[in-house]
Amino acid sequence: MKVQILGTGCSKCRLLEDHVRQALHDYNITAEIEKVTNIDDIMAMGVMMTPALAIDGVVKSVGRVLTKEQLLPFLKGEK
């Protein structure tokens, strides 16, 4: 699984990345994490507001810093 954090590096983007890393560790889920910071690449994925989360290239959340608990269904493939 590839988890992409889309954002230019603002504090909310970094916080989302921290939550993703914590959730992967706490729930023992293996995934590759990629930070997408290029605005053209972000817009090419249809994202106009950051931070955003994509799983395997599919955007799952836009404009929100998800908690570890909110991330779990996405990381388990339930949403």
Question: What does the pLDDT look like over 19-77, one tens digit per residue?
Answer: 999 999 999 999 999 999 999 999 999 999 999 999 999 999 999 999 999 999 999 98
**Model confidence at 78, in pLDDT bands (50, 70, 90)?**
confident
Q: Provide CATH code, domain 2-75.
A: 3.40.30.10
Using the predicted structure, report yes or no on whether residue 79 has a pLDDT greater than 80: no
From the list 3, 13, 24, 54, the catalytic residue is 13
**Catalytic residue of the set 2, 8, 9, 10:** 10
Q: Catalytic site residue 21?
A: no
| Whether pLDDT at 6 is above 90 | yes
Task: Provide the residue ranges of all domains of the chain, joining segments of one domain with +.
Answer: 2-75
Kindly state the helix (H) or strand (E) to which residue 49 belongs, with its residue range.
Answer: none
**What is the pLDDT, as a whole number, of residue 51?**
97
73 part of the active site: no
Which CA distances in Å does 15 have to 18, 44, 53, 78? 5, 23, 12, 23
**Residue 77: what pLDDT?**
87
